[in-house]
């Protein structure tokens, strides 16, 4: 970290060089006054090492119209940061001279000859260049050099790796740790992460090189809240004196902190503001601000990822509580009811007994479906090549419909799938066919040949088919046209999606459920 402490003169004119040196001496005094260095235009053409180092330390540049005639000079001066003003001294403002100046990217022009320089009076005000130097250049400002920005990027790269692997209970510790390393690397006095909370912005994480206790603040108290609300960075260099005054080197002037405010954005919403503050005079470079924006993005992503993780944890806890209620508070009374039903089987008329048995079986199926959704959701375990016929036959054993029939085509192949989840898919499709087609329904499992190299499976029945008005809602949880739980086809849809398969339904002498997947998912029949 260093102060830019040189006013660089670029040109071959020795008289102009002496004028600049005298003006610098007259404009500032004291230990923090800048030096004056010079560089010839030819050195830019040669890309001399000392030319590059001189400009890297410059707090301002003074040149002439003759020097601006060089393409190399114009190129190098156009690349100077906005905080390093370029001033052109023109003694005789002729038309050709002004045209050359206007074609170059400079900040201001000083016209007229010196009136005696520092010999005219103590302030040297007789030379208009003196006043222009004072107005345009603040030699007290510091800004990062290229090497320091590179080291800052390395710190943020390490921070990105650290924050990406942060556990929920480590978020605060690692964010503050990263703030400390960034602050110490680039001489930041304070870094505060404000997070939005019901309209106010609370200092959720902060680090300071000294004592600091940041307070909550309304959004309107941030500099340029309108820019922040449109996800723009807000940059403020140090300003001495009253608001609106230009930076100066006047002794005793009160200097406001130099600040950078970066919006924290997640899912296109402003969730907070990351503030960087420096008490000493400071000018910010574009590369430095871009690095701070990267830091803000890392923090926003870490916070959003942690919120999602916590929400998933809360959902899991609720599902576990729900599963416990279903498993214990519902299944246990049902088991008692089923046991007593077996005891009175010989004492109850058969039609009445079968009605009660169907009610018990329906409750058991509903509980199984609810637990399946709660505990498994969309997850699948490792997949393997499994025999469709074997899995379908195993699933058929769980369907209590002795009058129904299952036919499996000879050309049914192996598929890459989670065996237990594929079994659940078949179980629910078979039960759906029985619920809607009756206990004597016929069911067939076969191969679906499609276009563009897509193969699949179908499960068809000879029932009444799917009502046209029900097709759009068929796979939604709770939807049913037969008084069932309405969860079976929702489970089928989730299992298919978890495998990356497509699923659709059509009518062809009954309901036909089609599963489609890429060719490599299916192999030859076993």
Of 357 and 328, the one with more pLDDT:
357
Tell me: do 237 and 119 sit in the same domain.
no
Kindly tell me if the per-residue pLDDT of 496 is higher than 60. yes
pLDDT digits (tens, 9 = 90+) for 66-91: 888 888 888 888 877 777 889 988 87
Q: For the chain, how many structural domains are there in total? A: 3
Tell me: do 184 and 222 sit in the same domain.
yes
Tell me: do 387 and 444 sit in the same domain.
yes
Tell me: do 120 and 217 sit in the same domain.
no
Q: Which residues contact 247 (CB under 8 A, 6 or more apart)?
A: 138, 140, 141, 237, 238, 239, 240, 281
Kindly tell me if the per-residue pLDDT of 484 is higher than 70. no
Tell me: do 381 and 493 sit in the same domain.
yes
**Residue 315: inside a domain:** no
Of 305 and 262, the one with more pLDDT:
262
Tell me: do 135 and 153 sit in the same domain.
no
pLDDT digits (tens, 9 = 90+) for 316-348: 777 777 777 777 777 888 888 888 888 888 888
Tell me: do 87 and 154 sit in the same domain.
no
Q: Which of 112, 139, 166 is the last residue of a domain?
A: 139
**Residue 73: inside a domain:** yes
Of 143-152, 173-182, 489-498, which range is least confident?
Answer: 143-152
Tell me: do 150 and 122 sit in the same domain.
no
Kindly tell me if the per-residue pLDDT of 524 is higher than 70. no
Three-state DSSP state, 165: coil
Tell me: do 472 and 497 sit in the same domain.
yes
Residue 60's nearest CA partner among 97, 106, 14 is 106
pTM value is 0.54
Alpha helices in 3-92 (DSSP H): 14-27, 41-45, 49-56, 65-68, 71-78
What CATH number does residue 105 fall under?
Answer: 3.40.50.2300
Kindly tell me if the per-residue pLDDT of 124 is higher than 50. no
**Residue 353: inside a domain:** no
Tell me: do 218 and 277 sit in the same domain.
yes
**Residue 359: inside a domain:** no
pLDDT value, residue 375: 60
Q: Which of 113, 139, 165 is the last residue of a domain?
A: 139
Rounded alpha-carbon distances, angstroms, from residue 161 to 150, 157, 184, 193: 17, 7, 19, 19
Tell me: do 439 and 304 sit in the same domain.
no
pLDDT (average), residues 298-306:
92
* Domain boundaries, position 287: 146-310
pLDDT value, residue 265: 95
pLDDT class of 396 with cuts at 50, 70, 90: very high
**Residue 305: inside a domain:** yes
**Residue 187: inside a domain:** yes
Tell me: do 284 and 213 sit in the same domain.
yes
**Residue 365: inside a domain:** no
Q: Which of 277, 310, 343 is the last residue of a domain?
A: 310
What CATH number does residue 262 fall under?
Answer: 3.30.450.40
pLDDT value, residue 453: 45
């Amino acid at each position: 970290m260093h102060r830019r402490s040189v006013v660089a003169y670029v040109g071959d004119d020795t008289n102009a060089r002496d004028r600049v040196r005298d003006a610098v001496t007259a404009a500032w005094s004291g230990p923090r006054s800048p030096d004056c260095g010079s560089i010839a235009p030819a050195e830019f053409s040669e890309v001399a090492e000392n030319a590059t180092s001189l400009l890297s330390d410059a707090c301002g540049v003074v040149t002439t119209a003759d020097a601006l005639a060089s393409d190399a000079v114009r190129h190098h001066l156009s690349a100077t940061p906005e905080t390093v003003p370029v001033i052109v001294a023109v003694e005789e403002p002729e038309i050709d001279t002004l045209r050359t100046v206007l074609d170059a990217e400079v900040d201001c022009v000083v016209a007229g000859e010196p009136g005696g320089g520092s010999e005219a009076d103590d302030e040297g005000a007789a030379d208009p260049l003196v006043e222009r130097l004072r107005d345009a250049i603040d030699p007290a400002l510091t800004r990062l050099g290229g090497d320091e920005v590179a080291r800052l990027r390395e710190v943020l790269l390490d921070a990105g790796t650290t924050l990406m692997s942060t556990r929920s209970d480590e978020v605060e510790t690692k964010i503050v740790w990263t703030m400390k390393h960034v602050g110490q690397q680039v001489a930041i006095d304070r870094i505060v992460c404000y997070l939005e909370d019901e309209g106010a912005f609370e200092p959720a994480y902060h680090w300071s090189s000294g004592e600091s206790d940041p307070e909550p603040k309304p959004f309107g108290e941030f500099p340029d809240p309108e820019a922040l609300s449109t996800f723009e960075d807000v940059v403020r260099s140090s300003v001495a004196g009253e608001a609106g005054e230009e930076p100066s080197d006047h002794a005793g002037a009160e200097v406001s902190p130099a600040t950078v405010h970066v919006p924290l954005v997640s899912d296109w919403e402003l969730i907070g503001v990351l503030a960087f503050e420096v008490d000493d005079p400071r000018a910010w470079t574009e590369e430095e601000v871009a690095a701070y924006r990267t830091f803000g993005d890392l923090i926003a992503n870490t916070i959003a990822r942690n919120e999602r993780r916590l929400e998933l944890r809360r959902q899991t806890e609720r599902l576990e509580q729900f599963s416990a209620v279903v498993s214990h508070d519902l299944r246990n009374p049902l088991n008692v009811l089923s046991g007593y039903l077996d005891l009175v089987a010989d004492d109850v008329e058969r039609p009445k007994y079968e009605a009660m048995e169907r009610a018990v079986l329906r409750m058991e199926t509903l509980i199984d479906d609810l637990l399946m959704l709660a505990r498994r959701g969309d997850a699948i375990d490792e997949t393997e090549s499994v025999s469709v016929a074997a899995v379908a036959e195993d699933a058929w054993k769980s369907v209590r419909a002795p009058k129904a029939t299952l036919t499996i085509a000879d050309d049914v192949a192996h598929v890459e799938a989670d065996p237990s989840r594929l079994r659940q898919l078949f179980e629910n499709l078979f039960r759906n066919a029985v619920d809607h087609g009756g206990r004597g329904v016929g069911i067939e499992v076969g191969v679906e040949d499609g276009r563009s190299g897509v193969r699949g499976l179908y499960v068809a029945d000879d029932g009444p088919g799917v009502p046209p008005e029900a097709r759009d809602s068929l796979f939604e949880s709770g939807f049913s046209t037969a008084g069932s739980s309405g969860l079976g086809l929702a489970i089928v849809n989730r299992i298919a999606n978890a495998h990356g398969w497509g699923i659709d339904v059509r009518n062809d002498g009954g309901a036909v459920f089609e599963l489609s997947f890429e060719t490599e998912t299916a192999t030859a029949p076993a």
